[in-house]
């Protein structure tokens, strides 16, 4: 990976090896049951755990994007994010925190009032047409993920006539141009593994990950315990730690700059070992 930096509220944080982003879900229905947190105490304990294990960034979500998940109103999403962000900030006031939302108004409240630093948008601006302008106004880093449709419809939108890698890059590139014109300089690109992709397309994207270098942005890989691993191996999400570590290692070798994970210790060890190997 190429070193990158993020401007976090005037602090320039530099990363010369892949960053580990810890998932904290304030949801009752995330696809991996082990990641669900229903109270402030649970979230505080989870925050202490991931920080002690070496997390560089914490990502907080309150709206499950798995197919078939219940719809969550903006008010309910904000309620969950409010107590989750407060709980994390009581544990650590400095660690960068991203908020996983596709709603611009929710993102604004989280950045302005609740202590979040980064916006992580699974829809890449498609589900809220005001998101790009909002991020530009807030002057915060933005994670631009590739998805088609909505979580309910995305798996019917997997046709990529020129191949999945070329198709995803072609759909992300004009969004990056628009963000640049708006003055958003800190953008992380997420190919969107599992979102509007078949299992075969997910593996092709991972195989071709180095192609995303042409976008000139750090690349986030979020494959932790996902169905592209569990379905292929015939295991459950609870059994997918080893598979996740293997695939995260492959992603690091292909240039991933951020690993979004449930299991921070394993990801940190993978980063440390591959970094050491590259220095040999």
Q: Are 120 and 96 in contact (CB under 8 A)?
A: no
Closest CA to 150 of 59, 64, 221: 64
> For the chain, how long is the longest CA-to-CA vector?
52
In contact, 226 and 249? CB cutoff 8 Å? no
Q: How far is CA 127 from CA 12, 68, 130, in A?
A: 30, 17, 9
Beta strands in the chain, from DSSP E residues, in sequence order = 4-8, 11-15, 19-25, 57-61, 97-100, 118-121, 142-145, 187-190, 220-221, 258-261
- Examine the residue annotation and report whether 226 is marked as an active-site residue of this protein: yes
Pairing of strands 19-25, 258-261: parallel
Please say whether the beta carbons of 86 and 97 come within 8 A: no
Backbone angles phi, psi at 23, to 5 degrees: -85, 125
Sign of the dihedral through C-alpha 92, 97, 103, 105:
positive
In the set 108, 148, 217, 226, the catalytic residue is: 226
- Contact at 8 Å (CB) between 36 and 274? no
Annotated active-site residue 260? The verdict is yes
Query: Which residue of the set 46, 108, 260, 268 is catalytic?
Result: 260
Instruction: Show which residues are catalytic.
Output: 226, 260
């Amino acid at each position: 990976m190429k070193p990158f930096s993020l401007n976090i509220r005037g602090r320039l944080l530099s990363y010369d090896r892949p960053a580990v982003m810890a998932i904290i879900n304030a949801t009752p229905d995330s696809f991996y049951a082990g990641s669900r947190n229903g109270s402030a105490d649970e979230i505080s304990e989870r925050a202490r755990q991931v920080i002690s294990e070496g997390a560089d960034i914490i990502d907080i979500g309150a709206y499950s994007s798995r197919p078939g998940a219940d719809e969550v109103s903006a008010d309910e999403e904000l309620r969950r994010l409010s107590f989750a962000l407060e709980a994390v900030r009581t544990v650590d006031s400095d660690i960068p925190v991203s908020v996983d939302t596709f709603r611009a108004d929710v993102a604004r409240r989280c950045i302005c009032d609740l202590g979040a630093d980064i916006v992580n948008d699974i829809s890449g601006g498609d589900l809220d047409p005001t998101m790009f302008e909002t991020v530009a106004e807030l002057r915060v880093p933005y994670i631009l993920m590739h998805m088609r449709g909505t979580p309910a419809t995305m798996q019917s939108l997997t046709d990529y006539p020129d191949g999945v890698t070329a198709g995803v890059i072609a759909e992300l590139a004009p969004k990056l141009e628009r963000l640049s014109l708006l003055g958003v300089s800190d953008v992380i690109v997420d190919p969107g593994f599992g979102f509007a992709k078949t299992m075969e397309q997910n593996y092709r994207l991972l195989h071709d990950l180095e192609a995303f270098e042409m976008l000139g942005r750090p690349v986030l890989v979020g494959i932790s315990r996902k169905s592209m691993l569990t379905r292929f191996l015939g295991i459950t999400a609870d059994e997918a730690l080893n598979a996740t570590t293997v695939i995260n290692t492959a992603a690091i070798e292909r240039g991933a700059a951020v690993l979004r994970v449930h299991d921070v210790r394993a990801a940190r060890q993978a980063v440390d070992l591959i970094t050491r190997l590259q220095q040999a």
